[in-house]
Structure 1
Amino acid sequence: MNFIVENWYLFVMAIGSGAMLLVPMLKGGGMGGLSAAAAVQLVNREKAVLIDVCSADEYAAGHAVGARNAPLADLETRLPALVKNKAVPVVLLCASGARSKRAAAIARKLGYSNVQVLSGGLNSWKEANLPVEKV
Structure 2
Amino acid sequence: MKFIIDNWMLIALALVSGGILLWQALQKGSGIGTTQAVALINREKGVLIDVSEPAEYAAGHPQGARNVPLAQLAGAKELPSNKALPVILVCASGARASRAAGQLRKAGHERAVALHGGLAAWREANLPVEKA
Using the size of structure 2 for normalisation, the TM-score is: 0.78
Alignment partner of 1:103 out of 90, 100, 108 = 100
Identify if the C-alpha distance between structure 1 residues 28 and 60 changes in structure 2 by more than 3 Å, giving closer, same or farther: farther
Q: Is 1:90 aligned to 2:87, yes or no?
A: yes
Aligned length: 115
Kindly state the Cα deviation for residue 81 of structure 1 after the two structures are TM-superposed: 4.1
Q: How many Å apart are 1:28 and its aligned residue? A: 6.6
SS of 1:88's partner is: coil
Give the secondary-structure state (helix, strand or coil) at the position aligned to 2:122: helix
Shift of 1:69: 0.6
Q: What does residue 9 of structure 2 align with? A: none
**Between structures 1 and 2, the one with greater helix share:** 1
Instruction: Calculate percent identity across the aligned residue pairs.
Output: 52
Q: Distance in 1 between matches of 2:48 and 2:66?
A: 6
Q: Unpaired runs of 5+ in structure 2?
A: 1-17
SS of alignment partner, residue 76 of structure 1: coil
Q: Distance in 1 between matches of 2:78 and 2:24?
A: 36
Amino acid at match of 1:47: K
Cα gap change, 1:88 to 1:42, in 2 (>3 Å) = same
Say whether the 8 Å CA contact 1:64–1:125 is kept in structure 2: yes
